[in-house]
Amino acid sequence: MQRFDDPEYLKAYIQSHPNQKMAWYLLGKEYAAKGEAGKAAYCYAQAGEVYEAFENEPLPPEVLQAAKAEFERRTRQSDADAASAAIGADRKEKPAPNRRRWRLALLALTLAGFAIAFAPDSAEAPAAGTGPGHSAESGLARGEERHIWHWVDPRRSSAYLGGMVGQWTEQLPDKRLTLTLLELAEAERWLRWDSPPKPLLSLTGGAGEPSWTANWHDASRCDCEPAPFEAPASVGLWQDRLEQEAVLRTAVRYYAEAHGSPPESPEQLARSYPNNAISGITPLMRKLFPSVAESYGQPSRGGFGTGKADGREKSGETAAGGERLPDTLAIVVDRANYRLALVSGPVILRSYPVGLGGERTPEGTFPITEKVKNPNGTDKGAFGSRGMTLGDTLYAIHGTNEPDSIGKDESLGCIRMRREDIEELFALVPLGTPVTIGRGLLPDELVRRTPGYAIPSSAEEENPGKIYKWLS
């Protein structure tokens, strides 16, 4: 953190990064505090969506008008020169230490270029449908000190990070909080959910304090001695909680698409075959159900937009809150390396080795239209103990009585899985979940995680009246 106290370092950074919108915003705040409205307006206009995220309003017309006048006054200067001159003038009057301490901490975060999605650390804390302004619903009682975890995607923009941190710190001033950013490991184009996330940075403050204290835990991110950190068990509970919410949101979404409206109760999701949208409801999912059902159809608070063909999501730059994994669940199958992954946005929650049928396994995207236990009438046989039909086809993801075929092209087109793998996936995946099959989509390395919860098998999911003829 110390290097951001150096005006020369800060000046050099903005000179070489004239499009750094968070820096423009902070510069505008300094000018506004000194009553230099024209310069402040010019900086705010450069900040754009960062200003809107922090001020919770669009740029007012008078700001744009003042910015235009300031721009005309500076027509012979580049944006970088303007920033440099402004910083030089600012040295004459530094902000009070307590204000400057927080601003530099936020600037350090922003310039690092990380992004976060927020989530309470307790598996029992409700989350869906809440944002930074709903502290009571987030389990943050007035005056209570809490530790909140955030998973970090280093590929997201600095504007997103600044907006998210700003919302929490500005809207929860009477709460004593420690916000810890946990960096997920990368696996090629994806993020891994299995290994314990690496602590990156902690911010402590609130409860009316005028500043926040930043402690780096990764020496590679700062010119400092990193603060010690030992991840408590609540990190695992936090991951459990986000997984269960993702399963529930997926079930509610595709139920609503199939029936025209969200379910009225969680019991409607765990009915008997063929209406077994999900195998069962955990206590936490039951607790989250009202807010998840109510929020159905609202924009994603995780900041992710339209899905890509490979099952991942296009990253947006919104600063809206995100107390969850970034999107509903999807399955991706890679024909090149015999891998199947359960994903949420850019995060791989689980991946498994599978058996395929070479060119007989079709490429494309198919919804799961049927989930059945013991499709052979028993847990033994060609289809094993679980099966999931892909769209209006004879292809399925199912178990096998030939485990040696995993990693090979020995099926007639279906996707074979080991018994323990298909049973875990079956419990997590609701009806309607999209399955994308292609080549070069997934990393070779497997992503596995042992959760601290189990989805109960309360639905009756057998279909003894049908003889399945999948292309096994």
Which residues participate in catalysis according to the annotation? 398, 414
Determine how β-strand 396-398 pairs with β-strand 339-344: unpaired
Residues in the chain: 472
Q: How far apart are CA 19 and CA 15, in angstroms?
A: 10
The residue ranges of DSSP E strands in 54-158, in sequence order, are 115-120, 145-153
* Tokens (6 digits) for 198: 């690496």
Q: 262-287: b or e for each residue (b if 16 or more CB lie within 10 Å)?
A: bbeebebbbbebeebbbbbbbebbeb
Phi, psi angle pair for 366, to nearest 5° = -135, 135
Q: How far apart are CA 456 and CA 250, in angstroms?
A: 17
Closest CA to 318 of 42, 19, 48: 48
- Side by side, the strands of the sheet bearing 176-183 are 115-120, 145-153, 176-183, 198-206, 213-216
Helix ranges restricted to H, 48-92: 49-55, 61-73, 79-90
Q: How far apart are CA 369 and CA 393, in angstroms?
A: 10
3-state helix, strand, coil in the chain (%, to 5): 35, 20, 45
Q: How far apart are CA 314 and CA 41, in angstroms?
A: 32
Residue found under tokens 């999209």: 434
For residue 185, count CB atoms less than 10 angstroms from its CB and return exposed for 0-12, middle for 13-18, buried for 19 or more. middle
Q: How far apart are CA 253 and CA 246, in angstroms?
A: 10
Residue found under tokens 């590679």: 220
Cβ neighbours of residue 230 closer than 8 Å, sequence gap 6 or more: none
Closest CA to 365 of 406, 395, 336: 395
